[in-house]
Every structure is written in structure tokens, then in C-alpha cells.
Chain A
């Protein structure tokens, strides 16, 4: 997995609430058996018309935001389906951090498996960052995972909370499965105990 330590990049404002995973990556793109190549279809139905032409006023189609690496969004981002195609599409486009007041649980979890940092901040701070993002390409936002801070282009700094295990894995680009397999003895022991107590399972 791609490591995440520090990021300085363009932030795109997407102030809509309840952006669901169907909007992030519509179902017709779930028929792939690969993880890669979904970036071109990120936000497909908001980004392109039926003929496949770009819709000019969609934020990621504007010249200032085509290279965005950070999204600042409305409440409850990533609600709906568990499809990991959503973070795959975001990562493939180049998004490495997403800032909102809240994220849907499954999506939040999926981000960490794909080198994306979801950052939860209170409404008034998200409002400041949204305004900052609206300044366009000259305003670069900074995210520092080690220090757990977001810095606006004006130098205003906001701290955020993150689970220590997730932070450790993201900073070091660690593979969960490898880490869990180191605990195989504990899983073996649990299985032996459980199959004695609940043999019908």
C-alpha cells in the first residue's frame, strides 16, 4: 500500500451532503475484476454528459482542480454501498485525503486500505477549509499525518484525531493481512476454543 506521511496539494470543494458511493463510482463500472483504472470514471454521472463530454461546471473538470489531491466535502461522505471501487476510483484519480464533518463507516474503513486519509473535523473548521479550497489552484493545503494537522493556504492550522493503529499502518504503508497473520497462534487458539464451545458453527 502507498505510504502517507505529508501532503501538500490542491483541494477541491465539493460541498454537497450525503455523497454516496453510487455517485462516486456508478454501478456500471463495478463489473471490472481489477482495482486499477477507475479514476477516469470517478463521479462519472456528475462529471460527464450522456455522450461522455465533460460537464464544465463540475469541480474536477475546472482547470484549477484537475490535479486536486484533496477533497473537502459535505456531511456523511461515502454513504451507501460497501464498494471499495469508490476509494479505488478516488485514489486512481489522485485523491489522497478527504476532509468532512463525517464519513460513512464502511467507506471510512475502505480508505485506509488504499492509502487515502479521511479527516473528520467540526463544521466550522470544514467551512474554513471549504472557503480555502474555493480559492483554486494557487491555494495549496497541507496535511501532516504524523503531526495530525491540516494547514490552510493562509497558515491556519487544525488538528485532527485518528486511530493510532490506522495511523501507523498508513504512515508505514503496512499490509493488514501480513500483520494479522503474525497473530496466527491467537487465531488458532480461538478457533480451538470456539469449536469446543460452539461446535455447530
Chain B
């Protein structure tokens, strides 16, 4: 048999139909649904008199709109349009009989944190969601990517997607990471190296010693931002860490089926002589703690550097950088560590898991948020929040002066009341620094949880290695 990549293997195992012109129908094992990109899809089903083909494989949770402050079960806590959207998901979940974690359920949280936490996401699966950060689930060796609302409707009705096969791209991170360097620094550095369109048309498999050494949480952070590099999906081959993470979770395979599943899961890796359409290799030792300075995730530099000049770029990027620096209120040559911060946001599907909160709390222990700054932690799920409280992390955050919030997407995209004011500058552990992303005219610098915590203490972008 010809050698295959991990992506090839998962693709082949889910090919339900191939037309003569090469158009394929791929079967979907898990469909995750949230309140923002699904109402029109359910409405489409109703209008056509269709039903959900596999409600047992469909899981819904409200996350984008929900307030993260206490008392949010009270309908008054939401604006009317948010309330309508969440109510629509409540109704659709009930009417169509799909799995549902309402706001009142402790298991509620960001859809990409809830899926793995509950054991819905398993190696070798196909996972889709009307959200581009579905790539997160690739950390389990699942082929996972975002889809639009028309495709949400298509999956609800048929449990398949019309697809063309993507190309294979290997991103290898060799060797070990230096102290202070995290999964977030890896994923941002890869985007810095390849650009936001570097992965367009590809599925990325991340491999190499530095990736193998990451925890499952770290691997999720890496895959989460595959889309920011243009790739619909990022993958990491499952290993013992993956299996250990899954074992015993509510929807993981049970005794008897577990062994059967393991037998298949252990075949899920790229063959040695598999063919790659593109290969990127980065030495782990060369990765520094990084931050973004512009309005695209590719605008990334080691924290020791300075704001670049537009003229140092080529083509259309020159104007884009000029515009970005104007938007960000920065001048070329300014040291990144001199950039002062107003707000710190720790959370999101990129960095809202327990390990992220541990890393931030480690920095904050015995320290205080600088006077006049706003700082908040938004755990990725109710269960992450509960665990952080049990471990004493919540106390560390509160004592340092952070707001300790309830789970949701929050200020990552600011659809709920958690927003930046115009001109406000944020050290954020989220995934996008686009114009207006965290609030109208708000300014975002992306970084790791430890770096965001460090910025909260000093009031400016900070090299975590200097604070330790």
C-alpha cells in the first residue's frame, strides 16, 4: 500500500461517496453547534421540512454571546438580540433532540473546550463546527475544521460535507523549547514564518520533539491557530498523552470498545515515507516568547524586538503595515517592551484551559495588577473554572486584582458586554488582533498566558524571562 499521511488516513476512513468529477462526500462524526452561526441553518431545515440526520452526533452549547458575570441566568443580563439568539439555540436543541449544555449547566463553556473535556472529540474522527477555531480538536488527531452556516445546515441534514481533498503540509518543531517559551509562542511563531495565507489549501500536521513534549492543552493551543495560518485544519498524531487525556471522560469509549478504539488509534500517524506538498521546519531553540504588534496574526515578533517600519515589508503589506501602525498607535523603532497596556484578557478557546490558568497564576502569585489597569480571567468552561477554584488559582487571580469570570468566549470577539473601549490597549491570550476584534478601535496584542500575566503586573508588554 502506498504510504499515507495522517490526514490521508482519516480522509480515506470517512469517504462516503466520490463523484466522477472528484467531488467527495465526507462523513462527519461530530458536529458542534453554537448560537451565532446556527439559527439560520435550523431555520433552513424547518423551511425545507428536513430533520437532523444524526442528533446523537450533534452537540450544542451557547458561548459567543453569553455574559461572563454572575447572575447571567437572568434574561435581563443579555441584550435583546443576544437573548433571542441564545433562546433560539435552546429551542433548536430541544426541538431536534441534540445534546445540549445550557448556560445554567456547569459543563457549559467554549465549544472547543467543552468538546474535548466531555470526550466528544476522539482520534481519527471528523469534527466540524460553524466556527473557524474548530481546528483546536486536531490536537487529538481528529480532522477538524470550521464551516459556514450553509454547511452547518448541510451537515445537520446529511451528516456529510461536500469536499475536495486539501494538500498535506508538515510543520516540524525540532528540539526543545527554552524556558518561558510556550505552545502559544510556537503557534504564533509558525504564523510569523509562513504568513496568514501560508497554509491556505493545506491541512497542517504539527510534529517534532517540541510538539510531542507539549501537554494536550498545549497541543490544542497550537492546532487552534492553524486557521490563523490559513490552514483549515491542524493535526497532531495521537500518542499515550492523548489516550490518557481521553480515558474516563464522559463520552470516551467504554470498556470493551476502548481496546477496539485503541487498536485503530495506534495506526493514526503519518507513514515514514509519506509525501508532503509543503514542509516547514523550525528549531524549538530558535523560538522566543513573542507578541503581536499589528492587526494580523502574522505581525509577530520576539518580545525583545522593536516595532518594524512599513518600508521593511514588500508589496501590499507596506500599506497594510502603515495602516496597522496607525490603528495600533505605534511608531517604528519603539521597543515592544515599552508599549503600555490598559487591559489584560486571559481566556478564549486558544488559552482558556486549566494549564493556561496555572501558567498565569504562577506569574501572579504574591503580585498585584498595576494600578489603574483592568484585568480579567475568563475560564474556558464551567469545569475549568471549578478546577481552578479547587486548585486555589481563583484566589491568586482575585488577590492579584483580576476579575474572576464565568465561562464563555468573552473578550476574544467581544460579542458579549466584555469589550475594549476605542483606543484601549489589551494584552490578550486570544487568537485574533484584527481591527475592532475586541471592541471598536480597540488595540490587541496577542501573547501567551504567562506573558499576559506579566504585562498585568508591570503595565507594559514584558519579557516573561525578565520577571522570573
Contacts and interface: CB of A to CB of B under 8 A. Distances in A.
A34 B85 CA distance: 10
A114 B40 CA distance: 13
Contact of A31 (B22, B82, B160, B232): B82
A187 B25 contact: yes
B81 A31 contact: yes
B162 A180 contact: yes
Contacts of B424: none
B147 A22 contact: no
Nearest to A107: B148
Contact of A106 (B122, B132, B159): B132
Interface footprint category on A: 35 or more
Contacts of A113: 148, 150-151
Contacts of B166: 105
Nearest to B149: A84
Interface string B181-198: 000000000000000110
Interface stretch (A58-66, A75-83, A137-145, A149-157): A75-83
B154 interface: yes
B415 A187 contact: no
A3 interface: no
B316 A17 contact: yes
Contacts of B200: 76, 102-105
B39 interface: yes
B296 A18 contact: yes
B257 interface: yes
A157 B162 CA distance: 31
Contacts of B159: 187, 191
Nearest to A190: B16
B250 to A, nearest CB: 13
A28 to B, nearest CB: 7
A26 B436 contact: yes
B5 interface: no
A33 B84 CA distance: 8
A82 B131 contact: yes
A114 B39 CA distance: 17
Nearest to B316: A17
A81 to B, nearest CB: 5
A199 B153 CA distance: 25
Contacts of B39: 33
A16 B316 contact: yes
Nearest to A106: B146
Contact of B16 (A34, A82, A187): A187
A110 interface: yes
B150 A176 contact: yes
B365 interface: no
A200 B122 contact: yes
Contacts of A82: 37, 130-132, 146-148
A165 B201 CA distance: 17
Nearest to B16: A190
Contacts of B132: 80-82, 106
Interface in A22-44: 22-23, 26-28, 30-35
B36 interface: yes
A177 B157 CA distance: 7
Interface stretch (B317-325, B399-407, B446-454): B317-325
A183 B150 contact: no
B81 to A, nearest CB: 4
A52 interface: no
A31 to B, nearest CB: 4
A201 B17 CA distance: 19
A22 B197 contact: no
A164 B162 CA distance: 13
B153 A177 contact: yes
Contacts of A190: 16-17, 27
Interface in A88-135: 102-106, 109-110, 113-114
Given A16-B323, A82-B37, A186 B197 contact: no
B50 A177 contact: yes
30 contacts: A16-B323, A18-B197, A27-B437, A31-B79, A33-B43, A45-B436, A84-B40, A104-B197, A105-B166, A106-B145, A106-B146, A106-B148, A110-B151, A163-B23, A165-B22, A177-B48, A177-B157, A180-B25, A180-B154, A180-B157, A180-B158, A180-B160, A187-B25, A187-B159, A189-B16, A190-B17, A198-B264, A199-B260, A200-B253, A201-B29
Given A82-B131, A106-B145, A190-B27, 5 more contacts: A17-B319, A113-B148, A113-B151, A177-B154, A199-B260
Interface of A: 15-18, 20, 22-23, 26-28, 30-35, 45, 50, 74-76, 79-84, 87, 102-106, 109-110, 113-114, 163-165, 176-177, 180-181, 183-184, 186-187, 189-191, 194, 198-201
